[in-house]
Amino acid sequence: MQRTLLPITAVILLAACSQAPETAKNTMETSTANPLLVPSDLPFHAPDFRTFKDADFRPAILEAMERHMAEIDAIANSAEPPTFENTIVALEKSGQDLGRVTAIFYNLTGSATNDSLQAVKADLAPRLTAHGDAITLNAKLFARIKAVHDQRPSMAMEPVDARLLERYYTRFVRAGALLDDAGKERMKKLNEEEANLIAKFEDNILKERSASSIVVDDVKQLEGMSPEGIDAAAAAAKAKGQEGKWLIDLRNTTTQPALAELKDRALRERIMQASLARNGRGNAFDNKAIIARLAQLRSQKAKLLGFPSWAHYVMDDQMAKGPDQALKLMADMAPAAAANARKEAAKLQAIVDRQGGGFKVSAADWDLYAEQVRKAEFDLDEAAVKPYLEFESVLQNGVFFAANKLFGLSFKERKDLPVYHPDVRVFDIIDTNGTAIGLFYGDYYARDNKNGGAWMSSFIDQSTLLGQQPVITQNCNYVKPAAGQPCLLSWDDVTTLFHEFGHALHGMLSAQKYPKFAGTNTSTDFVEFPSQVNENWALLPEVLNNYAKHWRTGEVMPEALSAKLRKAKTFNQGYATTEYLAAALLDLEWHSLSADAPLVTDVDAFEKAALQKYGLDIAEVPPRYRSAYFSHCWTGYAANYYAYLWSEVMDADAFAWFMANGGMTRANGDKLRNTVLSQGGSKPEAELYRDLTGRDPAVEPLLVKRGLR
């Protein structure tokens, strides 16, 4: 399953066009000489990390907010009659300084943060939110937008212009532009409190990740782990001043990779318990009170805007149009998924019993014994596969190769551009005519000062209106190998790499006039579609045979082994589907609370009741994320985590379309590029899908893919 966080491009564009100035008393803190306030001289105006320091961000953002507000005031107070150009297009052009600075800032706080940047983030979060409110709740500005919107019947508009106008009007209404003055003031207070809580939640996630790392004193406890993994654990411990020990960092998901290898059950239990307890163990990083209040705040905002719950508010502007369709999709799958998971658990227990284990299988045991089941049923051993999945080959000969085959793209690494961390790599994105059309930054290894999970983002979004080409980033959290050792990936890691690159392609191949429609700026329940489609190429023989080569010998993965990989595609899908559905339904339950519901005081009890409601309270299969460390739920994908499954319906159906039409051909790639990837959010998402396949998606291919049919 995917490990994607919200593409930060969406957050940044909202920050650029809906976030807020300080009063004049802060003017002395700014400086016109601040290097962040002007585009860099580097290719495609990529950030020049040599020219600014952490202390430059706060004054730069404050100054950029003031500049942005001056632009907004000029639009709102214009003496000219409102037109599409002087109001809507003018809004699209506004906030470029703020967009540039916040893009750099939020990429750094996600990928290479420190105490100084975190302090600035916490300090500015409510101010940026107030800035957004000062724009979307500006009565004069909205009056001009509404006046243009009301003129639509008499205006001859290009379809993309009409959509831009509609999206601006809808965005302002959804932000509260139609509220009375008292309602607007209430909304501002709720938004400010929410911004502060989110900043604290994110800071706690980052700090708890480091605090929860597992330190091992005796290498014998690491029996089962590969030599490369043991070396990496020793290097990680040494880097944290614990030479002679071994350190296992926790990834952002509940299940941890080491659990599939370690034979020491006590250590496995220790890792799982640490993972499950994160941000809810009563220490300084406990998020339980924060998330309970966030859920309440959002329900109150929804009521203020006329919706029964936050889920109703969010989905009203998505493909789903309301919780009922998303809930039905998930609830219909839950019984079959849970039944499959219980059957899988029985197989694991049978192995434990045959081996005289004398214990009941727990969540900490699942991955280790699932590997044994896979080996017994499919003669497939993860340890036999990993030597063929060396990171550099997967990237160059897999991910990049597939992009070349489908779209004619190539990637040339360059060493002349500054980066924010030595591990970061930069590539020219070269189109079919040999011209570089943007830059791609890859940041692949885990660090304490980096968010968990994997995601795509951008420093610059494509826009012909602004004369911008894309500068795209991709982040993963693979364990950095010890010096001289290879970075060997699991199959899940390979899928993640292809998945996030699918998001990156959405940004790279954007061909839009307006920044609001560039790249991944689509509805959340569509944005995962291109990334999930891109996962499919990893297992196609023409791609797999090009990258799956033994890291020592260069031997191509034997056909017998790759055939086993393909045959085992539905293996463990009861577990995978159940852990995903449990998290997605938790997200929906939190955000379906009404404004009149009492504050949740027992988060654990709320979780248990929600899982029992859907038959997913299975001890051996915990949710992919528990509520207290569920970043998707509380930051970018609030009431939207269902989007992965919603998009996967389209993905499975579209992949069936690809295979029925010749497979991985350049013609099919160009059609995907022309109908979806280049279009961003410039059309309704259902229309984009039909432009590609000529039909609405059917759910049957997904059920087959997940082994539920």
**Could you tell me the CA-to-CA distances from 252 to 270, 561, 620, 627 in Å, in that order?**
16, 30, 19, 12
Q: What is residue 338's predicted lDDT score, i.e. its pLDDT?
A: 96
Above 80 in pLDDT, residue 18? no
Span 397-424, pLDDT tens digits: 999 999 999 999 999 999 999 999 999 9
Q: What is residue 15's predicted lDDT score, i.e. its pLDDT?
A: 38
Place of tokens 């739920």: 633
* Torsion, CA 690, CA 693, CA 698, CA 700, rounded to 10: -170
Span 95-136, pLDDT tens digits: 999 999 999 999 999 999 999 999 999 999 999 999 999 999
Confirm if 514 and 468 have CB atoms less than 8 A apart. Answer: no
pLDDT level of residue 13 (50, 70, 90 thresholds): very low
Average pLDDT in the 267-279 region?
97
Span 217-228, pLDDT tens digits: 999 999 999 999
How would you write 158-175 as a 3-class SS string? Answer: CHHHHHHHHHHHHHHHHH
**pTM, whole model, 2 decimals?**
0.91
Place of tokens 């706060």: 58
Q: What is residue 27's predicted lDDT score, i.e. its pLDDT?
A: 36
Q: What is residue 435's predicted lDDT score, i.e. its pLDDT?
A: 97
Span 64-102, pLDDT tens digits: 999 999 999 999 999 999 999 999 999 999 999 999 999
Q: What is residue 209's predicted lDDT score, i.e. its pLDDT?
A: 86
Mean pLDDT for the chain? 93
In order of their start, the domains of the chain are 8-178 (1.10.1370.40), 212-277 (no CATH), 387-570 (1.10.1370.40)
Above 90 in pLDDT, residue 30? no
Residue 30 class from Cβ within 10 Å (0-12 exposed, 13-18 middle, 19+ buried)? buried
Q: Rounded to an integer, what distance in angstroms lies between the CA atom of residue 91 and that of residue 78?
A: 13
Q: Please list the active-site residues.
A: 500
Question: What percent of the chain lies above the pLDDT cut of 70?
Answer: 95
Q: What is residue 23's predicted lDDT score, i.e. its pLDDT?
A: 31
For residue 342, count other CB atoms closer than 10 A to its CB.
14
pLDDT level of residue 32 (50, 70, 90 thresholds): low
Helix (H) or strand (E) holding 476: strand 471-478
Span 561-610, pLDDT tens digits: 999 999 998 899 999 999 999 999 999 999 999 999 999 999 999 999 99
Q: What is residue 582's predicted lDDT score, i.e. its pLDDT?
A: 98
Structure tokens at 36: 């962040």
Region class of 694: left (phi > 0), else alpha (psi between -120 and 50), else beta: left
List the beta bridge partners of residue 463.
468
Above 60 in pLDDT, residue 285? yes
pLDDT level of residue 381 (50, 70, 90 thresholds): confident
Span 619-637, pLDDT tens digits: 999 999 999 999 999 998 9
